[in-house]
Amino acid sequence: MRSDVTDRGCRTVLCRLADVPPGRMLRVVTEEAGPVLVANVDGTVHVTDDTCTHAEASLSDGDLEGDRVVCPVHWAEFDLASGRPLCFPATRPLTVYPAAVEDGHVVAHLAPSAQEASS
């Protein structure tokens, strides 16, 4: 991974777009934000935290249903564009990171992780 600091956070190259075809998700562990979820919804790339806010499970092990990700543990659902929880038991939103495709790579502006910010 390659990262540069910008006013929007750390600009980080996460993966090749080919690694996440439409309808698929990928977990990427970053130094800046910890594990993040890269999801390709019909050609639109979304990047959020990968950990469910309810059950501490990896959302990349769940299901991508349209523009929603479903947690594999208790079936909490999140809107990938906003991070908003869509059903119980999740009540806290996911962090959503600005993302784009540049030169065939998924790039996101990641906030520093809580552990990194406290050091």
Q: pLDDT (tens digit, 9 = 90+) per residue, 4-15?
A: 656 567 899 999
By DSSP bridging, strand 34-41 and strand 44-49 are antiparallel
**94 CB neighbour count, 10 Å cutoff:** 24
Give the mean model confidence (pLDDT) for residues 102-111. 95
Please give the model's pTM, rounded to 2 decimal places: 0.89
CA-closest candidate to residue 43, choices 24, 28, 62, 65: 24
Half-sphere exposure of 41 (CA within 13 A, CB side): 14
pLDDT of residue 107: 97
- Domain locations along the chain: 2-106
Q: What are 34-79's pLDDT values in tens digits?
A: 999 999 999 999 999 999 999 999 999 999 999 999 999 999 999 9
CA distances from 9 to 46, 65, 110 (A): 16, 29, 5
Q: Which CATH number fits domain 2-106: 2.102.10.10, 3.40.640.10, 3.20.20.70, 1.10.3720.10?
A: 2.102.10.10
pLDDT of residue 1: 60
